[in-house]
């Protein structure tokens, strides 16, 4: 039985809101953010799925909405979570559309501690917030850097480095989100 | 403590007052004194007496370069009691070079990872993972000859990385360190013989074939490398046995695989598109300590060289690249299991161009697991334990 079939069979209440497809040899589940934690916990803990390995977590940025009539069809930020099962030798891709203005999802660090750095990078480069992350700080940019240079509409060539001798700041100058105690 | 300072001249001792007043806030790099002799002396005396002093509570150990505000460094903040580590926090330095961002908009048939960061040499594993991800999206596989040569590349990278790790770890064994570093040059020559230029930067196979005379030259060089590897003895590092333990359960939950996982007894079976076939842990090998990691590395390297020789002798004939095909829009990812763990690459393609390139090196998982391995480790052993993980921080460039 495929992973989407198992999810639909064992989480019947979510069947209607969890479209699934097969892409190449990978099962793809599209999960709304409010159900993300339930589905991911199932994928990790169900013995027939046993996705014990978080391969990666990242985001695809399709850019800001264009003026009416010329805009993209889907959401701006697509969260992509890559999982694999060492025991079953399978791979699963979970996709979640995030809110354009407030891209947020529940942290995966409580399920897979290996998400620690990847989620910091998501915040650092894309401004995507892993709610509940124990230490959501910049990781590849210095504290005090401005903006999120992974976003496709971030000014090309703009230096994200804080001005020498200053403390950073500016519109996005929040080196650590809420002091890292979320 | 003194041995760390002797072996790692780049050790940086922060101002303890500023550290305690506002921990975690970086200082202006221009204000940094790279080495403070007085602080160093105080720290050494404090550690020798086994006492805890305000100065001895925080040691910032910067692995090249010395200035914490420059790119490509890792930082460990250690809390110590006497001479033992009681708590460790690992962090990256400032690594952003815009690599992934610069890839957005590139045509999918012309993406060379190293050109994005302006390097002369190709990083083989992410480049290979990128090709595999695009092939997965297109629904094609590379010809048999190309797959065999890709396997040779992964194996040679394994040998090269094993030698780097051994050279970095053998702080107290200068003879071993010299031998490992000398051998690196031989293996570099082998690797460059296969992946010269942009050989790997091709979807559907390789950009260029390995000619018969090149194969002959490689086969002539291999025995010397095999003999050099066989001469490396780990007896000089026996005091690392039982040190820097990474429990299997921690490795698993952090997502660690590769030699670090196997040295702790973790079955290395992450599903991969192109897997490095490492050695199975021998009896008493899967203890998860620094010495076990080195033993596993060397066993892997010996196996890898054997496979390279076999593959080159029995290299299948035929083309090295698929004929024309198109890469449709969509998202795909591929995993290449290298010697240090899995490289994952995700691509999102729209209208023949990259919308997103995501490179995830194995170091992301290793760094998350590292603090546990340092728990209770004597300060004198910290550098060797960290080195035994084989972190290549350049892999984390973004």
**pLDDT of B132:** 92
Domain ranges in chain B are 2-91, 98-395
Q: Which residue on chain A is closest to B23 by alpha carbon?
A: A179
B25 CB near a chain A CB, below 8 Å? yes
Question: Hey, where are the domains in chain A?
Answer: 3-65+72-131, 152-182
pLDDT at B118: 57
Is the model's pLDDT at A153 over the cut of 90? no
Q: Of B26, B271, B368, which has the smallest distance from its Cβ to A116's Cβ?
A: B368
β pairing state of B84-92 and B330-338:
unpaired
Q: Whole-number mean pLDDT of chain B?
A: 75
Helix, strand, coil: what percent of chain B each, to 5?
50, 15, 40
Task: Give the span between the Cα atoms of B355 and B108, in whole angstroms.
Answer: 10
Task: Determine whether the interchain pair A23/B360 forms a contact, defined as Cβ–Cβ distance below 8 Å.
Answer: no
For chain A positions 3-22, those within 8 Å of chain B (CB to CB) are none
Arch. (CATH architecture) of B98-395? Orthogonal Bundle (1.10)
Q: Which of A86, A117, A124 sits opposite B270 (nearest CB)?
A: A86
Q: How confident is the model at residue A158 (pLDDT cuts 50, 70, 90)?
A: low
Superfamily of domain A3-65+72-131: NADH:ubiquinone oxidoreductase Nqo5 subunit (3.30.460.80)
Q: A64-122, pLDDT tens digit by residue?
A: 876 555 556 678 999 999 999 988 888 999 999 999 989 999 999 999 988 888 899 99
Enter the pTM of the model: 0.81
* Among candidates A24, A82, A160 on the partner chain, residue whose Cβ is nearest the Cβ of B136: A24
Q: B8-38: per-residue pLDDT in tens?
A: 444 444 443 344 344 444 444 334 333 333 3
CB-closest option in A52, A55, A87 to B342: A55
Size of interface A-B (CB pairs under 8 A): 116
A80–B331 CB contact, under 8 Å:
yes
pLDDT above 60 for B103: yes
> Worst-scoring range by mean pLDDT, B104-113, B139-148, B197-206, B356-365?
B104-113
CA-based nearest residue in chain B for residue A138: B94
Q: Select from B94, B137, B356 the Cβ nearest to the Cβ of A142.
A: B94
| Residue B359 confidence class, pLDDT cut points 50, 70, 90 | confident
Report the helix count and the strand count for chain B, using DSSP H and E: 14, 7
pLDDT of A95 reads 95
Cβ pair B270:A125 closer than 8 A: no
Between B147 and A68, residue with greater pLDDT? B147
Of B26, B137, B342, the CB nearest to A143: B26
Q: Which residues of B touch A107 (CB under 8 A)?
A: none
CA–CA min distance A48, chain B (Å): 16
Which of A95, A117, A143 is the closest to B367 by Cβ? A117
Whether B210 has a pLDDT exceeding 70, the answer reads yes
* Segment B232-256 mean pLDDT: 86
Secondary structure of chain A: what % helix, strand, coil (to 5)? 25, 25, 50
Q: What is the C-alpha to C-alpha distance for residues A3 and A20, in angstroms, rounded to an integer?
A: 9
For chain A, positions 79-138, list CB contacts with chain B under 8 A.
80, 82, 84-87, 89-91, 93, 95, 112-114, 116-118, 121, 124-125, 137
User: What separation in angstroms does the CA of A20 have from each of A14, A33, A38?
Assistant: 12, 15, 16
B370: phi > 0 → left, psi -120 to 50 → alpha, else beta; which?
A: alpha
Collect all residues of chain A within an 8 Å Cβ-Cβ radius of residue B256: 114
Partner-chain contact B332 A24, CB within 8 Å: yes
What integer pLDDT is reported at residue B285 of this predicted model? 67
Shortest distance, CA B29 to any CA of chain A (angstroms): 9
The three-class DSSP label of residue B345 is: strand
Contact B331 A93 (CB under 8 A): yes
Strand partners, B10: none
* Pick from A49-58, B69-78, B109-118, B326-335: least confident: B69-78
Which stretches does DSSP call E strand in chain B? Answer: 59-63, 74-81, 84-92, 274-275, 330-338, 341-350, 353-360
Show residues of chain A in contact with B253, CB under 8 Å: 112-114
- A60 to chain B, any CB pair closer than 8 A? The answer is yes
Residue-averaged pLDDT of chain A: 81
pLDDT of the residue at A157: 56
Looking at residue B75, what is its pLDDT?
65
Q: Describe the crossing of helices B363-374 and A115-126 by its angle, rounded to 10 degrees.
A: 130
Q: What is the mean pLDDT of residues A162-169?
A: 43
Residue A165: what pLDDT?
A: 45
For residue B76, pLDDT beyond 80? no
Mean pLDDT score, A137-163: 72
Pairing status of strand A129-131 against strand B59-63: unpaired
Query: pLDDT-derived band of residue A166, with 50, 70 and 90 as boundaries?
Result: very low
Strand, helix or coil at B278?
A: coil
* pLDDT at position B356: 92
Query: What would the 3-class secondary structure string for A48-104 be?
Result: CCCCCEEEEEEEEECCCCCCCCCCCCCCCEEEEEEEEECCCCEEEEEEEEECCCCCE
């Amino acid at each position: 039985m495929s992973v989407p079939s198992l999810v639909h069979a064992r989480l019947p209440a979510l069947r209607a809101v969890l479209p699934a497809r097969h892409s190449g040899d990978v099962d793809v589940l599209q999960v709304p953010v409010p159900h993300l934690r339930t589905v991911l916990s199932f994928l990790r803990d169900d013995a027939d799925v046993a996705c014990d390995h978080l391969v990666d977590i990242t985001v695809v940025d399709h850019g800001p909405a264009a003026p009416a009539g010329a805009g993209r069809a889907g959401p701006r930020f697509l969260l992509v979570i890559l999982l694999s099962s060492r025991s079953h030798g399978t791979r699963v891709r979970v996709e979640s559309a995030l809110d354009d203005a407030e891209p947020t999802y529940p942290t995966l660090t409580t399920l897979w501690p290996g998400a620690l750095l990847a989620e910091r990078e998501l915040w650092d480069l894309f401004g995507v917030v892993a709610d509940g992350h124990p230490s959501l700080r910049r990781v590849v940019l210095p504290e005090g850097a401005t903006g999120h240079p992974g976003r496709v509409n971030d000014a090309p060539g703009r230096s994200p480095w804080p001005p020498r001798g200053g403390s950073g700041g500016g519109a996005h100058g929040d080196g650590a989100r809420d002091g890292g105690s979320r | 403590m003194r041995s760390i300072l002797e072996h790692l001249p780049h050790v940086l001792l922060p101002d303890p007052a500023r550290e305690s007043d506002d921990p975690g806030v970086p200082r202006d790099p221009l204000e940094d004194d790279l080495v403070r002799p007085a602080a160093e002396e105080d720290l050494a005396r404090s550690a020798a007496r086994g006492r805890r002093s305000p100065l001895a509570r925080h040691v910032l150990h910067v692995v090249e370069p010395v200035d914490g505000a420059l790119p490509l460094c890792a930082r460990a903040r250690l809390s110590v009691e006497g001479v033992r580590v009681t708590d460790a926090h690992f962090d990256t330095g400032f690594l952003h070079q815009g690599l992934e961002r610069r890839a957005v908009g590139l045509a999918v048939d012309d993406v060379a990872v190293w050109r994005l960061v302006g390097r002369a040499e190709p990083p083989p594993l992410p480049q290979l993972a990128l090709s595999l991800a695009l092939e997965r999206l297109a629904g094609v596989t590379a010809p048999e000859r190309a797959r065999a040569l890709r396997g040779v590349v992964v194996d040679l990278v394994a040998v090269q990385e094993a030698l780097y790790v051994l050279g970095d770890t053998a702080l107290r064994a200068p003879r071993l360190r010299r031998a490992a570093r000398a051998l690196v040059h031989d293996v570099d020559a082998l690797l460059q013989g296969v992946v010269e230029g942009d050989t790997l930067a091709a979807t559907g196979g390789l950009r260029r074939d390995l000619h018969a005379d090149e194969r002959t030259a490689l086969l002539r060089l291999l025995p010397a490398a095999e003999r050099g590897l066989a001469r490396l003895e780990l007896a000089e590092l026996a005091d690392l046995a039982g040190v820097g333990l990474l429990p299997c359960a921690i490795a698993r939950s952090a997502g660690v695989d590769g030699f670090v996982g196997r040295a702790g007894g973790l079955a290395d079976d992450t599903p991969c598109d192109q897997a490095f076939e490492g050695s199975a842990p021998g009896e008493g090998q899967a203890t998860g300590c620094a010495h076990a990691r080195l033993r596993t590395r060397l066993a892997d390297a010996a196996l890898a060289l054997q496979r390279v020789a076999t593959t080159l002798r029995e290299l299948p004939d035929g083309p090295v690249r698929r004929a024309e095909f198109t890469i449709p829009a969509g998202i795909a990812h591929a995993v290449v299991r290298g010697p240090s763990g899995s490289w994952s690459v995700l691509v999102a393609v729209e209208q023949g161009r990259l919308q997103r390139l995501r490179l995830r090196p194995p170091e992301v998982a290793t760094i998350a697991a590292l603090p546990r391995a340092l728990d209770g480790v004597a300060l004198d052993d910290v550098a060797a334990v960290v080195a035994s993980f084989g972190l290549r921080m350049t892999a984390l460039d973004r």
